Amino acid sequence: MLERLRARLTGSVLLWDTLLTLFALYLSTKLRPQIEWGLEVSQDKADLPWQIYGGVALIWVMVMLLLTPQRALFTRGLIEAIGRLLASVILSSASFAGMLYLSFRDVSRLQFLSFVVFDISSLLAFHLAVRSYVRYRYRTNWQRRTLVVGELTMAERLSDEFAQRPWGGVVVVGYTSDAHDAPSAVPCFGTIADTIRIVAEECIDEVIFALPAQQHNRIAQLSLDLIQQPVMVHMMPGILDLTFARTSVETVGGIPLISLRESALTESQRILKRIFDISASLILLVMLSPLMLLIALLIKLESSGSIFFSQERIGENGQRFRMIKFRSMYQDAEQRWAEVARRDESGNLVHKAINDPRVTTIGRKIRRTSLDELPQLINVLRGEMSLVGPRPEIPIITAEYDPWQWQRFRVPAGITGWWQVNGRSDKPMHLHTEDDLYYIQNYSFWLDLRILLKTVVVVFYGHGAY
């Protein structure tokens, strides 16, 4: 729980620290010729080869991984956090000076010192800003509302432990129990049987099971019932659970917790995937902006209504969001949904038809080439989707999911995926779920690249899209 949040925060700060350091190095090369002190240095002599930038990035990352100033930023006091940051920059600068002595001795001392000053100033200001911003947001609307299922004493203990770690934003808002406890600062919302209803009513983000080993069957059933809710589920393990646990065990104030609904992606996979999503989406939006403007104009000329179509979808961990597409249907398409909705011979709901009467002329063309999906690059930038992943589904379809099908939401939803390059709309919902599970079980960054390349081929030939 807290380790997952901390890993994502520290990884992001480390990335920005490295970028700021490289910018400070670049800034020192541009400002040194302007400083009229000491020997005169021309711009050509102040410029550094790209190998130096690569060496600086490597040194700074290695030292910061060793001294962990990013971790201290969220878990330690202000003085220790600043001390670790200064120690990291000083040690990195000393290593950089040694590298220059052995490789590129022409760098002036004043240029080197100005780089170190720029780096310390920018990183210190950045860390203080991040620390203040994160603590402010976690005290307000970034809180992870947590429900404890079990005894009052454990709910109070967990509440105290999380309160000592405000950077995590985890707050125990209440608990459910079959016992009749005395009034407490941690409110009791009802019995254990009321857990599912309370999770929905109280907008719970995390559920922690603190029940004895004799009630493992009850934990298993409640976990299965919670799979349709956008919550993370954890449990306090017993001795046997710790022995045979296949997921990471996190300790919060001496209390071990096992996560039952961890993401299928490791932190390194998630960070790499997110960096690629942001970079590729920005490039694609710039490159395709003339085409998107043309499509928007054609949609507006053909029929009245908005250029874009926004619809509620289910994404990672069951989170709901508004997915954006170019409008390819007439304005009243959602009211006419019953015209195409049907059930196949097995009783599964099918909501797409080849000759859908609600689709406009230009809409049929952009759907055939999947150009109607281009605005979803905005969803990717907002972190609601990824370029590759299981397709986000509409709630009316997920309402009929079997429990195993909800496993497709263990990774970020995608614009394209394994299902789209292996049949697209020719495959009904109950079959493409198996393709999504194959993608999750065999995930790698190279699989994402393979799917993206196959998507270009599939879209070019227009297979299975309508």
pLDDT tens digits for range 247-261 = 555 666 566 677 766
pLDDT digits (tens, 9 = 90+) for 270-311: 888 988 999 999 999 999 999 999 999 999 888 888 899 888
Beta bridge partners of 267: none
Choose the final residue of a domain: 94, 115, 139. 139
Has residue 341 been placed in a domain? yes
Please state, in angstroms and rounded to a whole number, the distance separating the CA atoms of residues 224 and 222.
5
Supply the range of the domain harboring residue 296: 267-461
| 384 found inside a domain | yes
149 shares its domain with 50: no
Contact indicator for 171, 182 with CB cutoff of 8 Å: no
Q: What distance in Å separates the CA atoms of residue 221 and residue 216, rounded to the nearest whole number?
A: 9
Do 320 and 252 lie in one domain? The reply is no
Checking if the pLDDT of 241 tops 50, the result is no
Q: What is the CATH number of the domain that holds 211?
A: 3.40.50.720
- Do 348 and 408 belong together in one domain? yes
User: Which of 139, 174, 197 marks a domain boundary?
Assistant: 139
User: Which tokens in the block code for residue 320?
Assistant: 């709901």
Alpha helices in 259-314 (DSSP H): 267-302
Tell me, yes or no, whether 111 and 62 share the same domain.
Answer: yes
- Report if residue 323 sits inside a domain: yes
Percent of the chain with pLDDT over 70: 77
What the block records as the tokens of 319 is 């989170």
CA distances from 47 to 27, 31, 101, 302, 392 (A): 10, 10, 16, 56, 48
Evaluate the CA torsion angle 377, 369, 294, 300 in order and state its sign: negative
- Identify the CA nearest to 378 among candidates 314, 316, 293, 285: 285
135 and 160 together in one domain: no
DSSP string, 199-240: HHHTT-SEEEEE--GGGHHHHHHHHHHGGGSS-EEEE---HH
464: pLDDT strictly greater than 60:
no
- Six-digit token pair at 243? 């022995």
pLDDT of amino acid 249: 58
Digit-coded pLDDT (tens) for 182-210: 778 888 998 998 999 999 888 898 899 98
Query: What whole-number distance in Å separates Cα of residue 371 and Cα of residue 349?
Result: 26
| Among candidate residues 139, 161, 191, the one where a domain is terminated | 139
Confidence at 246, pLDDT banded by 50, 70, 90: very low
- Tallying the residues shown for the chain, one arrives at 466
Domain check: are 155 and 105 in the same one? no
- Given this model, what pLDDT does residue 239 score? 42
Are residue 451 and residue 334 in the same domain, yes or no? yes
| 350 — pLDDT class (breaks 50, 70, 90) | low
pLDDT band with cut points at 50, 70 and 90 for residue 17:
very high
Question: Could you write out the DSSP letters of every residue in 390-429?
Answer: SPPB-HHHHTT--GGGGGGGSS--EEE-TTGGGTGGGS-H
Establish if 100 belongs to a structural domain. yes
Span between the terminal Cα atoms of the chain, in Å = 42
Q: Are both 273 and 251 inside the same structural domain?
A: no
Specify whether 277 is located in the same domain as 413.
yes
Task: Tell me the Ramachandran region of residue 452: left when phi exceeds 0, alpha when psi lies from -120 to 50, beta otherwise.
Answer: alpha
pLDDT score at 97 = 87
How many other C-beta atoms are found inside a 10 Å radius of the C-beta of residue 323?
23
Say whether both 232 and 97 belong to one domain. Answer: no
**Is residue 291 in a domain?**
yes
Q: What's the total number of domains in the chain?
A: 3
Q: How far apart are CA 93 and CA 116, in angstroms?
A: 7
Sign (positive or negative) of CA dihedral 57, 61, 67, 72: positive
Helix (H) or strand (E) holding 327: none
Mark whether 212 and 307 lie in a shared domain.
no
Task: Give residue 466's pLDDT band: very low, low, confident or very high (50, 70, 90).
Answer: very low
Residue 466 lies in a domain: no
Tell me the pLDDT of the chain averaged across its residues: 80
Instruction: Please check whether residue 114 lies inside any domain of the structure.
Output: yes
Q: Residue 113 above 50 pLDDT?
A: yes
Task: Tell which residue, 221, 216, 214, 153, has the closest CA to residue 188.
Answer: 153
Query: Which of 3-17, 55-69, 308-322 has the least mean pLDDT?
Result: 3-17
For residues 452 and 322, state if they share a domain: yes
Give CA–CA dist 31/86, Å, rounded.
Answer: 23
Q: Give residue for tokens 């589904």.
A: 393
Question: Is residue 337 domain-resident?
Answer: yes
